[in-house]
Amino acid sequence: MLHILLLLLLGTASAAVPDCTRHALNINTKRYIAALATGRHEWLESILTPNTTYSQNLEPAPIAKVTVSATPLTISYHRTTYDTVQCATHTEILVTNPVNPYMIATQLRFDPFAQKLASIDTIVTVPGDLLFNATHALHYYLALAQPEGHGGSSWGIPIAPEKQDSRAVLQSAADAYYDVFSNKSVVVPWGEPCTRLEGGYLDANGTCDMGIPDVTAKTENRRYVIDEDVGSVAVLSNFGILGPDVHEFRIAGGKIFGIRSMTVCKEKDDCGLSPPEGLREEVGW
């Protein structure tokens, strides 16, 4: 009798405690990658519910469109960060196919047990979006992940547990970057060296404390994926004057060492700017 009671108690206890592991997030993100790589949204079917929502560039879309293209995508690069507190992931994906290239960033949000998907939100950028070049992005994503030569700005390198920033510190650094676009008195905690990759364009290498345009742009509806292990904050938002946007920040010791972004140009090609010459030139392997 006691035995059964204990089992029952244990059963209820374990059912009530959220258990969102990196492993579960990782395997379910692989389903998402499989859907894109095969062009079959059915790979997600086992983790969908009738309530799962899907959006593309901030517009609601049917789940069948989650693959971006009905043709399988040849994925040259993908990388994921994990937020086990919110039970969410951020994945960046590059398709360098010269005919139909894409730079894609996706947030997946799960129930607290990482079993079923609550939402899928994707930013899909193509030629004509801000500083788009998937081949250049591939070059820099690989170069900036090298442990040597970029100091604290190396992406993806795990941070020792005792040196990890708290979630609040990570988020406030990312928020400061957005806030300075609407309030010039905000102090952004810049680190050095710092790199900023916008689309496929490396617009800062050394110091990022420059090139903030003199405009007022409020960033709305920020949705965060925070990964303390690698010092990353990824934010999906509506970036004021521009449009649907994803920024990811590489942060260490509370300072920003790297920024990379994908921004959809809603109104005009290239968001009305003329892309720099360098964006069309060969960038090397």
Ligand X SMILES: *[C@@H]1O[C@H](CO)[C@@H](O)[C@H](O)[C@H]1NC(C)=O
**108, 117 contact by CB (below 8 A):** yes
**Is residue 183 a contact point for ligand X (CB under 6 A)?**
yes
How many Cα atoms occupy the beta-carbon half-sphere of 182 within 13 Å?
Answer: 10
> Which of 23, 280 has the CB closer to ligand X?
280
Least CB distance to ligand X at residue 94 (A): 12
In whole angstroms, what is the distance from residue 83 CA to residue 149 CA?
28
- Please enumerate in sequence order all residues whose Cβ is within 8 A of that of 190, keeping only pairs 6 or more positions apart, or say none: 207, 208, 209, 255, 256
Contacts with ligand X by CB under 6 A: the residue count is 21
Q: Which of 112, 127, 151, 240 binds ligand X (CB under 6 A)?
A: 127
Position 240 contacts ligand X (CB under 6 A) = no
Q: Is 257 helix (H, G, I), strand (E, B) or coil?
A: strand
Piece of 4-12, 151-159, 180-188, 234-242 that binds ligand X (CB under 6 A): 180-188
Residues within window 149-178 making contact with ligand X, judged by CB under 6 A: 149
Reading across the β-sheet that carries 117-125, which strands appear in turn? 59-60, 53-56, 117-125, 102-110, 88-95, 77-83
- Residue 58 within binding range of ligand X, rule CB under 6 A: no
Residue number with CB closer to ligand X (69 or 205): 205
Of 127 and 253, the one with the shorter C-beta distance to ligand X is 127
207 interacts with ligand X by CB under 6 A: no
Q: Per CB under 6 A, does 259 bind ligand X?
A: no
> In the complex with ligand X, which residue's Cβ is closer, 143 or 246?
143
Of the candidate residues 125, 133, 153, 261, the single one contacting ligand X (CB under 6 A): 133
Q: Say whether residue 277 binds ligand X (CB under 6 A).
A: no
CA dist 132 and 16 (Å) reads: 45
The values of phi and psi at residue 133, to 5°, are -165, 105
The closest alpha carbon to 118, from 127, 110, 130, belongs to 110
Any contact of residue 283 with ligand X (CB under 6 A)? yes
Question: Could you give the string, one character per residue 97-116, with x where binding to ligand X holds by CB under 6 A and - elsewhere?
Answer: --------------------
Could you tell me which residues come within 8 angstroms of residue 263 by beta carbon, excluding any fewer than 6 positions away? 125, 129, 130, 131, 198, 199, 239, 242, 243, 244, 245, 246, 271
Q: Can you tell me which of 59, 162, 267, 282 binds ligand X, judged by CB under 6 A?
A: 282
> By 3-state DSSP, what share of the chain in percent is helix, strand and coil, each rounded to 5?
30, 30, 40
The smaller minimum CB distance to ligand X, of residues 29 and 195, is found at 195
Written as one letter, the residue type at 60 is P
Q: Does 185 interact with ligand X (rule: CB under 6 A)? A: yes
Stretch that binds ligand X, among 13-21, 40-48, 132-140, 253-261 (CB under 6 A): 132-140
Alpha helices in the chain (DSSP H): 2-16, 22-38, 134-143, 167-179
Cis peptide before 276 (omega within 30 of 0): no
Residue from 55, 97, 172, 205 that binds ligand X (CB under 6 A)?
Answer: 205
Interface with ligand X by CB under 6 A: which residues? 49-51, 127, 132-133, 135-136, 140, 143-144, 149, 183, 185-186, 202, 205, 279-280, 282-283
